[in-house]
Amino acid sequence: MKILTAFICFFFCAQLSAQRSKKPWSNPENYKEEVIESIKNSPQIIHPELYFNKNEYIHTDKNKMDINSKITSDSFVNGINIAWVNFGKDVGLDPDFQTQYHPDMEKFNEIMTAVSDAGGNVIRWWYHTNGSTNPVFDDDKKVTANPAFFYDDIKSILDLAASKDLKIQICLWSFDMLKDQWNVDAAANKKLLTEEIYFQSYIDNALLPLVNEIGDHPGLYAWEIFNEAEGMTVEYGNHWAGFIERVSIVDVQKFINKTAAAIRAEQPNVKITNGALGFLTSIDDQEKGYENLYSDEKLKEKGGEEKGYLDFYNIHYYNWAGMDGSPFHNEYNPEKLDKEAVIAEYYPDDTFGVSSVDMIISLMQNGWHGSLLWSWTDRSWDVMEPIIASATDYILSVEENDYNGVRIYPNPTKGVVNIIGLELESEVTIEIIDPTGKVVKKQLYSPATESIDISNVAKGVYYINFGNKLSKMILKL
């Protein structure tokens, strides 16, 4: 009898464990290349106009954005995707062996320092990713409480970012949650996406405790709900390789709506977004077969929550989308998109006649609201750095940096700033201020003074304030 009981227990435990994939773990460097190959086998994505049902197309254009709104170094998102240092393991707990996974802070510091020094301001980083080590599930496939170190680890990443005048966009889930990948329980993840009791266990036990612990942290840019969730749907991802389970796009829209509403109810001041596959699912253009699936109206229609909307859009671009789907070849158009939009993934490669070094300038000139290069894991920093730096240089070249005849030069500078046109009757205090409002240098300035020595100030973007007479003049070191 004891042998039979032991066998039953062993069999039952083995069955529970078997739900998680035993595929060898990997930290993929060619991640997007594999995705692109899957997309090329998806005719409804490559040729959407042939599959688009215009009879079901509904478009509203209220809350239009102003395409001529001025892009400044305050408003333009300029950065990269990490998106992980260890895929699915940056913060987590192995359910079988209780191994704790913590962020490699030395590597995070290296990445953040490089981005900050180049003039970047935002980094996109993935948290749950595929659910292999995070969140924690119980034996009934419901999400249970986070270990305390989850909070500590995320705050250490955000603290580090804030110390470098950076912000982190935390992407919660990727389509990988339904794939055959190491330690992923696709069945449990599907329940979380499709069944209310499992969804609520995630919201109550994992997400909201985390959201409230982080609050309105100065290192947080936004919560992003999905990375390219279209890939795990029957409508868009049927030809994508490696999936164990799939859901519908309605399941995705409902999850976004309810998750956004839950976050906003607890932390109304934080921003919320979602990472869309491309123009295909984020732009209203029926002639090309594109439809914005993430508008306020469509999310509320599917999920029923009034506050379950996005604050801005994240749109991805890779060359499978051609020139029709390229933000480098098409202007931001408020007739087709009702919120600001960051181009949150693209390769820093020459693309249909646009050179890599000109890509971010093209985004600015076309009226898009930000750029996040893909990715630290897939492309060398030597390729990405000049693109990030060129954005700040471009902003400085086009922003109004002449106040009542006062000009500063050279800008950017390597340590000495000259001032022309400042008419003073007596000395004033000049302040050099970082983007957080901290004064990093003060100097008395008189009518006879010709320059300011700021060679001991760290590289970055600053404001220069002349005795509270002139402010917001932007200076780059």
**CATH code at position 415:** 2.60.40.3080
Query: Token pair 């934080």 is at which residue?
Result: 270
Strand partners, 409: 418
Same domain, 166 and 309: yes
Does residue 42 sit in the same domain as residue 135?
yes
Let me know whether 57 and 201 are in one domain.
yes
- Long-range contacts formed by 18-22: CB under 8 A, 24+ apart: 19/141, 19/185, 19/187, 19/188, 20/95, 20/96, 20/132, 20/183, 20/184, 20/185, 21/180, 21/181, 21/182, 21/183, 21/184, 21/185, 21/186, 21/244, 22/182
Give the Cα separation of 386 and 414 in Å (integer): 17
Alpha helices in 344-431 (DSSP H): 359-365, 381-398
Mean pLDDT of 242-264: 98
Do 370 and 456 fall into the same domain?
no
Q: Looking at the predicted structure, is the pLDDT value of residue 7 above 50? A: no
Please say which residue of 375, 398, 421 terminates a domain. Answer: 398
Instruction: Tell me the C-alpha distance between 204 and 309, whole Å.
Output: 19
Mean pLDDT across 260-278: 98
- 3-class secondary-structure state, position 350: coil
Does a cis peptide bond (omega within 30 degrees of 0) precede residue 327?
no
Region 40-45 average pLDDT: 92
Same domain for 266 and 326?
A: yes
How many separate domains does the chain show? 2
For 80-132, the pLDDT digits (tens) are: 999 999 999 999 999 989 999 999 999 999 999 999 999 999 999 999 999 99
**374 and 442 housed in the same domain:** no
Q: Please name the residue ranges forming H helices in 203-353.
A: 208-214, 249-266, 296-303
Tell me the whole-structure pTM to 2 decimals.
0.82
Read off the pLDDT band of 382 (50, 70, 90).
very high
With a pLDDT cut of 90, the percent of the chain lying above it is 68
Same domain? For 326 and 436 the reply is no
Q: Residue 47: which domain range?
A: 22-398
Choose the weakest-confidence range: 14-18, 425-429, 451-455.
14-18
Q: Is the pLDDT of residue 230 over 70?
A: yes
Identify the pLDDT of residue 473.
64
pLDDT band at 421 (very low <50, low <70, confident <90, very high): confident
pLDDT at 400 over 70: no
Single residue among 398, 424, 456 that ends a domain in this structure? 398
pLDDT at residue 350 above 70? Answer: yes
